[in-house]
């Protein structure tokens, strides 16, 4: 199809707020790219912990209007790339904090890492903009942009091991009532609804300039009413599912808030271990059936020592368990040592009774992709890469209801929660967000865990070395939490799951196909009509 010139070079640009679409489309050069970058950064304000939904409305509608002025496909791709770079740079800047934990070794990488994050993830938005430009300005282009954005969110969740962080639907985390759609369509339905709310004002470009302002206001009002309707439906669903509890299973979550710069110092190993034990034994009116320590709470040197394991569990009541994040090693027959990032269950005697090895490892954090070509080490201590576990599984130990273990960022993958076979009664996420300091990262991570609870209809229990530990019921209510940087414990009863799996738990990402297929069929029909018009 030949390129179509849609810009307005040299034209008189109309004035007034109603002429905003034309004014944005008429921008050129560095002003276009700067505005696209700024609108992308503004979109990040809709994400946790801010939840400013109006920012998404301004950013996405504004970008679609800006895109209408792209005179070539290359220009549209650059606009989209700038928009995505702003969005991902502002939303994921905190990843660079992990490099500053050992600034002497990794600090030099920070500017390159930030640039790679922004520009790399910006490619997805560039593709959405380039595809949307195939359609003429108006509803077809807006629908194409939304459908492609949604499809590319799914693609981002698995390409190059996947990174489905900050999916647009997570903006609804500002209230549990707004998350309830995830039980039907997972994060994809929430993103589709967020795109609908944010792009309604963009439809104002389809009316004459004299009516443009009222159409824009009407679009914002319709989006607001849609959010109110979603809130009302969510409140109704939550009322149908009050919080219930799994018998008398009492949990104690330990959050030591150990500074990441101090965590792996060999001279402080015993002190950190003692901190975990002291918190586990701190005064409580109710004896815990399960004590939970966060990710990598027990280093391999102590895990391999039976006396130290017994020391960790000496305060447990009869029949109670310690579930602890631990680094463990296995030695192969040829002498090769294999390290694992694990969750270990210890009984009162300190004997391991179950182990889960993390399957989805963090690139560059726990292993280095293309190690032979890249001249860098992984961020976690040790020269050897961690080894991936065998896969998801449901653990059943003693009187504890069966649960699915998720170590660190495994919790951000919506399609990897189901272990197959037996249904879990609860989800356990052990993590360490101390890598990211005081930033938006830990808040985004906690809300991702909360979203998994709603999607599966299962309570989520989360123990973090530093922020945010908490317990979420199966419809997203936060029953208890310890904030970032707090040292302490949470004593809570284990919530019960919903009686039946949610629609999303049954069908998974097939729900995304149900959302996208009608949209793509409609777009294909519109494209066919457009080509017939061009041929004529």
Catalytic pick from 153, 177, 295, 416?
295
Answer yes or no: do 209 and 113 share one domain. Answer: yes
pLDDT band at 536 (very low <50, low <70, confident <90, very high): low
Please provide the DSSP assignment of 206-234 as one string.
GS-GGGHHHHHHHHHHHHHHHHHHHHHHH
Residue 531 is predicted with a pLDDT of 67
The count of structural domains within the chain is 2
Cβ-contact 352, 322 below 8 angstroms: no
Q: Are 186 and 509 in contact (CB under 8 A)?
A: yes
Give the least confident one: 130-144, 223-237, 361-375: 361-375
Question: Do 396 and 286 fall into the same domain?
Answer: yes
pLDDT at residue number 11: 44
pLDDT for 142: 95
Which domain range does residue 491 map to? 246-499
* pLDDT at residue 484 greater than cutoff 90: yes
The one catalytic residue in 22, 177, 358, 393 is 358
Query: No. of H helices and E strands in the chain?
Result: 17, 12
Residues whose CB is less than 8 angstroms from the CB of residue 132 and which lie 6 or more positions away in sequence, other chains included: 64, 67, 76, 141, 142, 144, 145, 148
427: helix, coil or strand?
A: strand
pLDDT tens string 264-290: 899 999 999 999 999 999 876 668 999
In this prediction, residue 530 carries a pLDDT of 65
Kindly report the CATH number assigned to the domain that includes residue 349. Answer: 3.60.110.10
- Residue 366 among the catalytic residues: no
Could you read off the pLDDT of 354-412 as tens digits, one per residue? 999 999 999 988 998 877 667 677 888 776 899 999 877 899 998 899 999 999 999 99
pLDDT class of 328 with cuts at 50, 70, 90: very high
Q: For residues 262 and 421, which has the higher predicted lDDT (pLDDT)?
A: 262
Whether residues 482 and 513 share a domain: the answer is no
Considering the domain architecture, whether residues 322 and 233 belong to the same structural domain is answered as no
Question: What would the mean pLDDT of 189-196 be, rounded to a whole number?
Answer: 98
Same-domain status, 77 and 94? yes
Q: Are 344 and 303 in contact (CB under 8 A)?
A: yes
**521 and 420 part of one domain:** no
What is the per-residue pLDDT across 43-83, written as a single tens digit (0 to 9) for each?
A: 999 999 999 999 999 999 999 999 999 999 999 999 999 99
| Residue 229 sits in the same domain as residue 122 | yes
In the prediction, which pLDDT does 2 show?
Answer: 37
Q: What is the rounded CA–CA span in Å between residue 362 and residue 164?
A: 13
- 112: number of Cβ within 10 Å: 11
Which two structure tokens, joined as six digits, stand for 54? 């109006």
In this structure, is residue 12 part of a structural domain? no
Lowest mean pLDDT among 14-23, 144-153, 160-169: 14-23
In a domain, 7, yes or no: no
User: pLDDT > 70: what percent of the chain?
Assistant: 94
pLDDT at 258 over 50: yes
pLDDT for residue 8 is more than 80: no
Q: What is the pLDDT of residues 79-89, one digit of tens each?
A: 999 999 999 99
Residue 170 lies in a domain: yes
344 strand-pairing partners: 324, 355
The answer to whether residue 75 sits within a structural domain is yes
Same domain, 203 and 274: no
pLDDT digits (tens, 9 = 90+) for 449-461: 999 999 999 999 9
Tell me if residue 332 is catalytic. Answer: no
Q: Do 144 and 45 lie in a common domain?
A: yes
Question: Is residue 208 domain-shared with residue 118, that is, in the same domain?
Answer: yes
pTM reported for the whole predicted model: 0.93
pLDDT band at 441 (very low <50, low <70, confident <90, very high): very high
pLDDT value at 336 more than 90 = no
Q: Which carries the bigger pLDDT value, residue 304 or residue 380?
A: 304
pLDDT tens digit sequence for 401-414:
999 999 999 999 99
Question: pLDDT value at position 210?
Answer: 81
Q: How far apart are CA 79 and CA 51, in angstroms?
A: 25
Catalytic residue among 408, 410, 416, 455: 408
Same structural domain for residues 102 and 228?
yes
**Nearest to residue 345, comparing CAs of 304, 278, 293?**
293
N-to-C CA span, the chain = 13
pLDDT band at residue 535 using 50, 70 and 90 as cut-offs: low
pLDDT of the residue at 14: 57
- Cβ(194)–Cβ(172) under 8 Å? yes
In the annotation, is 295 catalytic? yes
pLDDT band per the 50, 70, 90 thresholds, residue 6: very low
Decide if 10 is inside a domain.
Answer: no
Within a domain: residue 8?
no
What is the chain's mean pLDDT, rounded?
91
Do 430 and 316 belong to one domain?
yes
């Amino acid at each position: 199809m030949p390129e179509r010139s849609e810009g307005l070079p040299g034209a008189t640009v109309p004035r007034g707020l109603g002429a905003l679409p034309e004014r944005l489309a008429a921008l050129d050069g560095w002003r276009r790219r700067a505005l696209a970058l700024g609108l992308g950064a503004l979109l990040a304000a809709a994400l946790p912990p801010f939840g400013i939904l109006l920012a998404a409305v301004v950013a996405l509608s504004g970008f679609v209007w800006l895109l209408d002025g792209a005179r070539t496909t290359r220009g549209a791709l650059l606009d989209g790339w700038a928009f995505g770079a702003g969005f991902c740079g502002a939303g994921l800047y905190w990843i660079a904090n992990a490099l500053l934990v050992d600034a002497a070794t990794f600090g030099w990488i920070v500017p390159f890492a930030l640039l790679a994050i922004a520009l790399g993830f910006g490619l997805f938005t560039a593709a959405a903009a380039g595809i949307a430009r195939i359609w003429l300005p108006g509803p077809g282009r807006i629908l194409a942009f939304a459908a492609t954005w949604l499809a590319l969110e799914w693609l981002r969740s698995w390409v190059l091991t996947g990174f489905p962080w900050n999916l647009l639907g997570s903006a609804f985390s500002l209230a549990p009532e707004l998350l309830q759609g995830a039980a039907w369509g997972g994060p994809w339905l929430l993103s589709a609804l967020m795109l609908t709310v944010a792009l309604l004002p963009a439809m104002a470009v389809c009316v004459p300039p004299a009516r443009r302002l009222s159409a824009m206001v009407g679009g914002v009002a319709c989006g607001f009413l849609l959010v109110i309707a979603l809130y009302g439906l969510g409140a109704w669903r939550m009322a149908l599912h009050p919080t219930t509890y799994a018998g008398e299973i009492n949990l104690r979550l330990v959050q030591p808030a150990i500074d990441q710069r101090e965590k792996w110092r060999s001279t402080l190993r015993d002190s950190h271990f003692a901190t975990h034990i002291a918190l586990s034994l701190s005064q409580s009116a109710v004896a815990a059936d399960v004590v939970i320590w966060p990710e990598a709470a027990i280093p391999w040197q102590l895990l391999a020592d039976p006396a130290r394991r017994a020391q960790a569990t000496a305060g447990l009541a009869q029949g109670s368990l310690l579930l602890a994040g631990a680094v463990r090693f296995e030695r192969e027959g040829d002498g090769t040592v294999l390290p694992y990032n694990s969750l270990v269950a210890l009984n009162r005697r300190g004997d391991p009774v179950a182990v889960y090895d993390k399957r989805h490892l963090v690139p560059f954090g726990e292993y280095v992709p293309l190690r032979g070509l890249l001249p860098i080490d992984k961020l976690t201590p040790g020269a050897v890469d961690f080894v991936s576990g065998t896969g998801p599984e449901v653990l059943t130990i003693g009187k504890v209801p069966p649960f699915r273990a998720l170590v660190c960022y495994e919790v951000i993958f919506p399609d990897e929660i189901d272990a197959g076979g037996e249904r879990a009664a609860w989800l356990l996420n052990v993590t360490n967000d101390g890598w990211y300091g005081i930033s938006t990262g830990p808040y985004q991570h906690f809300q991702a865990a909360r979203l998994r609870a709603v999607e599966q209809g299962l309570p989520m229990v989360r123990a973090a070395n530093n922020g945010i530990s908490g317990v979420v019921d199966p419809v997203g209510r936060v029953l208890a939490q310890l904030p970032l940087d707090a040292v302490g414990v949470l004593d809570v009863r284990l919530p019960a799951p919903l009686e039946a799996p949610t629609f999303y738990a049954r069908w998974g990402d097939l729900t995304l196909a149900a959302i996208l297929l009608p949209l793509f069929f409609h777009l294909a029909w519109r494209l066919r009509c457009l080509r017939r018009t061009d041929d004529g």
